[in-house]
Amino acid sequence: MTECVNESRLLKQVHSLKKANVFNSIFIIALGSDKLKKHEIISSGVELFRLCLISRRLPRFWLFQVVKYIEIFIRLVLKIRKLGANVVNAHSLAALPIACICKALFGAKVIYDAHELETEQVGGMSLRKKISKWVEKKFIHCGDLMIVVSESIADWYVDEYNIKRPSVVFNVPKKRELQKKNHFREQIGIRNDQVILLYQGGLAAGRGVNSLLVAFKARQDDKVVAVFMGYGPLQQTIQTAAAEQQNIFYHPAVIPQVVLEYTASADLGISLIENTCLSYYYCMPNKLFEYAMAGLPVLVSNMKDMSELVTKHQMGAVVTDFSAAGINRALDDFLMQDLATMKVNAYRVACDNAWEVQEQRMLAAYQAIGLSAATQRLRADDCHH
C-alpha cells in the first residue's frame, strides 16, 4: 500500500526469492503516482506495476477512504487474476483480505509479511484500531505463512491469535566490508575533532527526534554534533534548529544503495524510539543494524528487543531518561566507555544477522510450505510430461 520507491526490505526479499529460483516470475503491485512509471522491469523475471487510482484525489474523510479501498480491492484482485499468480504476498494488513480473497477465488497461497505490529501502532482503542484488529483476527488464519520482524512480535501473534509461531526475518542490510567514510565532514562542514552522533530514518514523532533536538540545544559545547539524515514531518523543525545551533546538522535522505556509506561517515548511532505503542516497544529497526554494519556503537532507548540486543552484545548503551539532562548524561557517559570494543561487537552482530543470514531463514520458511526451487523443477517436469 505504498508507491514502492524505497522499499528496501521488499526488494531484498524479491531478489533473494528470484536468485533461489523459488518463483519463475515475481510481480510487485503498488500504488501509482503521476510522477512515477506505471510499469518497471526491476530485473530479469521481476516486474513492478503501479495502479493509478481514480479515487486517490478524494479527501481523506473516512467515507472516501472506504471508496478508495474498494477500488484498490477490485483492481488488485483483477490484476492478480490476470497475472495468474499462484502465491500472493501481503506486505500490509490492508492487503491481507485481498490476498485471502485471491486464495478463495484462484487457489493462491497466502503469505502475510508484517513489517511491524500494525494493529498496535497506537495506544488506546480508537475506531481505526478496533477495525484493524477485527480484520486481522478475521483473516489471519487463512494465511499459509506469516513472517514478522522481531521475536517479541512473533510471540505476540501466537498469544493473540493462537496461530503457529511466525517466522522471524529481521529487516537488516547485506554484509558490507567495514570501511570508514567522511561524507558528513566533507559535505556539511563538520570538524575532524568533533564526534558525529547520527540519527537516520524517518523524521517523525515517536522516534525521539524532538527530545534529541532539545538535548543538543542544551549542550554547552560542540564537541559532539548531531546529524539528522532522512525526511518526514519534522524535517523543517530540524532545519530551523540546524540554522540556529552549531551542534545540529541536517542532511537530506540518500538512496538505499549509498545509505551505509553515509552511516560509516559518523562515529555513533542513535535510535531513541519512544514507548508510545506496543509496535514500537517490540520493534527491531533496520537503522539499528545499519549503524552496526557501519561499525557504529549505538545509543538506544529501552525498547524491549532493541535494548536486549545492544546490552547482550555490549555494542552500545541504553537511555532510560528522555529528558534533555538524561539524554546528555547518557551521551557523556557513553563517550567514556570502550567505544573501540563496542565498534567491533556491533559489526560482528551486524554480520551474524546480515541479510545473507535472514535470506536463508526466509527461504526455509517458504520451503516449509512447499515453495522452493525443487518444487518449481517438479512442476516444470509435470508440465513437460
Give the pairing of strands 46-51 and 39-43: antiparallel
pLDDT band of residue 320 (cuts 50, 70, 90) is very high
Note whether 235 and 204 are within 8 A (CB): no
Q: Does domain 183-352 have CATH number 1.10.3720.10?
A: no
pLDDT band of residue 34 (cuts 50, 70, 90) is confident
What is the per-residue pLDDT for 98?
96
pLDDT in tens, 267-303: 999 999 999 999 999 999 999 999 999 999 999 999 9
Give the pairing of strands 195-200 and 224-230: parallel
Residues 6+ away with beta carbon under 8 Å from 334: 268, 297, 299, 316, 317
Give the pairing of strands 46-51 and 145-148: unpaired
pLDDT band of residue 127 (cuts 50, 70, 90) is confident
DSSP SS3 for 63: helix
Mean pLDDT for the stretch of residues 106-117: 96
pLDDT band of residue 58 (cuts 50, 70, 90) is confident
Higher pLDDT among residues 232 and 122, named by residue: 232
Mean pLDDT for the stretch of residues 22-28: 95
pLDDT in tens, 328-350: 999 999 999 999 999 999 999 99
Distance of CA 94 to the CA centre of its chain: 17
What is the per-residue pLDDT for 378?
46
Mean pLDDT of the chain: 93
What is the per-residue pLDDT for 5?
82
Residues 6+ away with beta carbon under 8 Å from 383: none
Mean pLDDT for the stretch of residues 76-102: 96
Distance of CA 72 to the CA centre of its chain: 23
Mean pLDDT for the stretch of residues 211-222: 95
A 10 A CB-CB count for 274 gives 17
What is the per-residue pLDDT for 65?
86
Q: Which residues pair with 248 in a beta bridge?
A: 226
The set of cell numbers assigned to 32 is: 501509482
Which H, E and C letters describe 249-289, residue by residue?
A: EEEECCCHHHHHHHHCCCCEEEECCCCCCHHHHCCCCHHHH
Mean pLDDT for the stretch of residues 48-76: 89
What is the per-residue pLDDT for 94?
94
The DSSP element (H or E) to which 26 belongs, if any, is: strand 26-31
The set of cell numbers assigned to 43 is: 530485473
The DSSP element (H or E) to which 18 belongs, if any, is: helix 8-19
What is the per-residue pLDDT for 165?
97
Domain extent listing, the chain: 8-172+355-384, 183-352
Note whether 163 and 139 are within 8 A (CB): no
DSSP SS3 for 227: strand
Residues 6+ away with beta carbon under 8 Å from 192: 185
What is the per-residue pLDDT for 377?
52
Residues 6+ away with beta carbon under 8 Å from 166: 114, 146, 147, 148, 153, 154, 157, 158
Mean pLDDT for the stretch of residues 307-312: 97
Per-residue pLDDT at 383 exceeds 50: no
Q: Would you list the DSSP string of 88-147?
A: EEE-SGGGHHHHHHHHHHH--EEEEE-SS-GGGSSSS--HHHHHHHHHHHHHGGG-SEEE
Note whether 277 and 122 are within 8 A (CB): yes
Of the ranges 120-124, 142-146, 209-213, 368-372, which one carries the lowest mean pLDDT score? 120-124
Give the closest residue to 298 by CA, choosing from 330, 274, 322.
330
Higher pLDDT among residues 357 and 63, named by residue: 357
Q: How far apart are CA 123 and CA 125, in angstroms?
A: 7
* CA atoms within 13 Å, Cβ hemisphere of 188: 22
What is the per-residue pLDDT for 375?
56
Same topology, domains 8-172+355-384 and 183-352? Answer is: yes
Per-residue pLDDT at 381 exceeds 80: no
Per-residue pLDDT at 384 exceeds 50: no
Expressed in percent and rounded to 5, the helix, strand and coil fractions of the chain are: 50, 15, 35
Per-residue pLDDT at 376 exceeds 80: no
CATH number among 1.20.120.420, 3.40.50.620, 3.40.50.2000, 3.10.580.10, domain 8-172+355-384: 3.40.50.2000
Note whether 48 and 67 are within 8 A (CB): no
